[in-house]
Amino acid sequence: MFWLELNLIIKTDATADAAKRLAVFVLATPRALRTPPLLPIFLHNVLPSLIDTFDNVKLGQPMAGDLELLIAIISSSLMAALQLERALYATSGEQVYPLGSSSSSMASRLALDLRHRKSSSKGKLIAQRLTSSQTFVTSFPVFKTEV
């Protein structure tokens, strides 16, 4: 449902930047104590089904903007999670994972998931785009070796 709403923003607003910012805010903001964190759910449960959907899109159907938005959301959300962890560590001196698990473990699992999707053209494209970002690879070195 969230993904459909983000796509609606793109189709009515003509800019993916607003949709990306909204998605990063929703995914990378810590939740209340008894509410599950959304970023790991998105990366490990929703993303695989979105990749399958993109792989099954017939030629001629528009989706390039959707895939670009997805890549931007993945990289920006993981970077926001990393920055949040660093800020909390700097202020408290303790390693805290407000999004359920560390950003590096989420990135490692994502890299592993993408590596196992060798037959997926869109999965390969996502992996290529993530590994082509020097900032992303520097922050998550697992993408240098895993994908």
* Structural domains of the chain, count: 1
Domain residue limits at 121: 2-145
- pTM score: 0.88
Q: What is the 3-state secondary structure (H, E, C) of the chain?
A: CHHHHHHHHHHHHCCHHHHHHHHHHHHHCCCCCCCCCHHHHHHHHHHHHHHHHHHCCCCCCCCHHHHHHHHHHHHHHHHHHHHHHHHHHHHHCCCCCCCCCCHHHHHHHHHHHHHCCCCCHHHHHHHHHHHCCHHHHHHCCHHHHCC
pLDDT in tens, 26-78: 999 988 878 889 999 999 999 999 999 888 876 555 566 788 889 999 999 99
